[in-house]
């Protein structure tokens, strides 16, 4: 069986389909008639089907809100208008992905520090080290990656809080604009992550397009919400403000080369760096946070291959080679190692981590120390696949 779920949340009804039903759905392109769909289905599958069955499926899709109709368009418009008018980005995954009540969430997050693959120690009661320049944390769900998050945020607890955070998450729906900005505070069960308005303004002015053109991407994206939860858990009411930015794929602007060879991307990254260096020159401590995962391999992600221990080892080997470049702040080397062999690992955090590495290196200067890989992990995807992730910290030079 296949289950359709509306990621825009315009429909709250999941719809279960057989393999044949899913194939029929794939033939509905908005142009073919029911008779044409019937003929194509029979030609492709060799199985006969009645037009009435197709029409019944169409009615079921329509009743559940899965057809692109004027009614769906109206619901989408209303949903986006409500989102844009709000000053807050709701904690949409509180409840479905993690406990919505602070006591239960505190207990769950605290347990990851001493979990089997966690750091083995609780968050530090008092920070002793300077604020880091950068932090890399996963964005996989807490159930599978909670201990890996704990490695990152335990290390962060040992360091003093920065004055502001610039956080780069993954825009999984791949909108057209490469960096997607929002001035909205991110809500969490522990309180909202407030936006550093002056820093937001300075950074958002450095892109060549409307920085909020694809702001809707923030509405249902988890990669930054999960970081907001951990940051508020760590520092509570003393959490510094941030600028939350979702990063789409750079490959449409730089299909065959590293992003530094694409003039518009390179100029924007350098302009971002100038803004952040000016903040640091003024005495503010800035931390760059990347909420990223690594490889996505397996049938769930379109691969026709068997999931074996040998494949897991191969993925880890290639991931670790890429992470060597990342820890050395060699952003171009990291990017090239990931896209090699037709980007077979499908690293979803590629563009977000590339941006982060470039900015961390600029903030650290020519003598920036390398990053420290804290942990690496893999988890199975329930639908058939392997997802990998890592945590790392980049300290300022002493």
> Concatenated DSSP letters for 114-146?
TSTTS-SSPPPSS--BPPPSEEEE--S-HHHHH
How many Cβ atoms sit within 10 Å of the Cβ of residue 125? Answer: 6
pLDDT band of residue 115 (cuts 50, 70, 90) is: very high
What is the reported pLDDT for 12? 84
Q: Kindly report, residue by residue over 73-100, the tens digit of the pLDDT.
A: 999 889 888 888 898 999 999 999 999 9
Distances (CA, A) of 390 to 48, 56, 145, 353, 394: 49, 46, 9, 11, 13
Q: Kindly report, residue by residue over 127-141, the tens digit of the pLDDT.
A: 989 999 999 999 999
Q: How does the average pLDDT of the chain come out, rounded?
A: 95
Q: Kindly report, residue by residue over 333-358, the tens digit of the pLDDT.
A: 999 999 999 999 999 999 999 999 99
Q: Kindly report, residue by residue over 44-56, the tens digit of the pLDDT.
A: 999 999 999 999 9
Say how far apart CA 183 and CA 139 lie, in whole Å: 21
The overall longest dimension of the chain from CA atoms, in Å, is 74
| Predicted confidence (pLDDT) at residue 398 exceeds the cutoff of 80 | no
According to DSSP, the residues that pair with 387 across neighbouring strands are: 296, 379
What is the reported pLDDT for 9? 81
| Predicted confidence (pLDDT) at residue 386 exceeds the cutoff of 80 | yes
Residues 6+ apart with CB under 8 A from 192: 88, 185, 186
The SS3 of residue 396 is coil
* Percent above pLDDT 90 for the chain: 89
Distances (CA, A) of 265 to 177, 259, 260: 11, 6, 7
Task: Calculate helix-pair angle for 51-63, 34-45, nearest 10 degrees.
Answer: 110
| Predicted confidence (pLDDT) at residue 117 exceeds the cutoff of 80 | yes
391: which DSSP letter?
E
* Percent above pLDDT 70 for the chain: 100
Residues 281, 353, 260, CA angle at the centre, nearest 5°? 75
378: which DSSP letter?
E
Average pLDDT over every residue of 155-168:
98
Average pLDDT over every residue of 190-212:
98
Task: Give the domains, in start order, of the chain with CATH numbers.
Answer: 2-79 (no CATH), 88-394 (3.40.830.10)
Say how far apart CA 25 and CA 56 lie, in whole Å: 12
What is the reported pLDDT for 84? 87
Phi, psi dihedrals of residue 137, rounded to the nearest 5°: -135, 160
Contacts 24+ apart (CB under 8 A), 92-97: 92/9, 92/219, 92/220, 92/225, 93/222, 93/225, 93/226, 94/188, 94/189, 97/141, 97/142, 97/222, 97/226
According to DSSP, the residues that pair with 195 across neighbouring strands are: 242
Residues 6+ apart with CB under 8 A from 86: 184
Say how far apart CA 255 and CA 277 lie, in whole Å: 29
The SS3 of residue 166 is strand
Say how far apart CA 62 and CA 71 lie, in whole Å: 10
Task: Please tell me the number of Cα atoms within 13 Å of 95 on its side-chain side.
Answer: 3
What is the reported pLDDT for 368? 86
138 in Cβ contact with 296 (< 8 Å): no
Residues 6+ apart with CB under 8 A from 110: 122, 123
Q: Kindly report, residue by residue over 166-200, the tens digit of the pLDDT.
A: 999 999 999 999 999 999 999 999 999 999 999 99
What is the reported pLDDT for 80? 86
């Amino acid at each position: 069986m296949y289950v359709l779920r509306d990621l825009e949340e315009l429909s709250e009804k999941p719809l279960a389909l057989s393999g044949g039903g899913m194939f029929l759905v794939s033939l509905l392109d908005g142009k073919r008639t029911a008779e044409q769909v019937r003929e194509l289905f029979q030609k492709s599958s060799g199985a006969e089907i009645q037009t009435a069955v197709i029409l019944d499926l169409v009615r079921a899709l329509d009743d559940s809100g899965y057809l692109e109709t004027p009614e769906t368009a109206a619901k989408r418009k209303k949903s986006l208008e409500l989102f844009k008018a709000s000053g807050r980005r709701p904690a949409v995954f509180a409840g479905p992905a993690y406990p919505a009540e602070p006591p239960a969430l505190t207990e769950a997050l605290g347990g990851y520090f001493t979990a089997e693959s966690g750091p083995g120690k609780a968050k530090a009661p008092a920070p002793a080290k300077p604020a880091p320049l950068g932090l890399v944390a996963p964005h996989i769900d807490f159930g599978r990656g909670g201990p890996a998050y704990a490695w990152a945020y335990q290390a962060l607890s040992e360091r003093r809080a920065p004055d502001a955070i610039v956080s780069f998450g993954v825009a999984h729906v791949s909108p057209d604009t490469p960096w997607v900005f929002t001035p909205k505070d991110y809500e969490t069960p522990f309180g909202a992550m407030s936006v550093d308005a002056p820093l937001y303004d300075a950074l958002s002015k450095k892109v060549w397009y409307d920085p909020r053109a694809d702001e809707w991407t923030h509405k249902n994206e988890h990669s930054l919400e999960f970081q907001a939860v951990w940051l508020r858990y760590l520092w509570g009411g003393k959490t510094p403000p941030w600028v939350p930015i979702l990063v789409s794929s750079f490959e449409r602007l730089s299909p065959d080369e590293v992003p530094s060879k694409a003039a518009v991307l390179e100029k924007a990254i350098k302009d971002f760096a100038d803004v952040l260096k000016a903040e640091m020159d003024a005495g503010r401590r800035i931390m760059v946070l990347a909420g990223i995962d690594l490889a996505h391999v397996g049938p769930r992600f379109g691969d026709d291959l068997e999931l074996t221990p040998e494949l897991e080892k191969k993925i880890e080997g290639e991931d670790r080679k890429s992470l060597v470049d990342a820890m050395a702040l060699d952003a171009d080397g990291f990017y090239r190692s990931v896209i090699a062999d037709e980007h077979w690992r499908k690293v979803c955090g590629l563009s977000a981590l590339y941006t982060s590495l470039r900015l961390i290196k600029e903030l650290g200067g020519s003598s920036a120390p390398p990053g420290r890989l804290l942990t690496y992990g893999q988890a199975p995807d329930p639908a058939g696949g392997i997802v990998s992730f890592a945590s790392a910290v980049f300290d300022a030079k002493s």
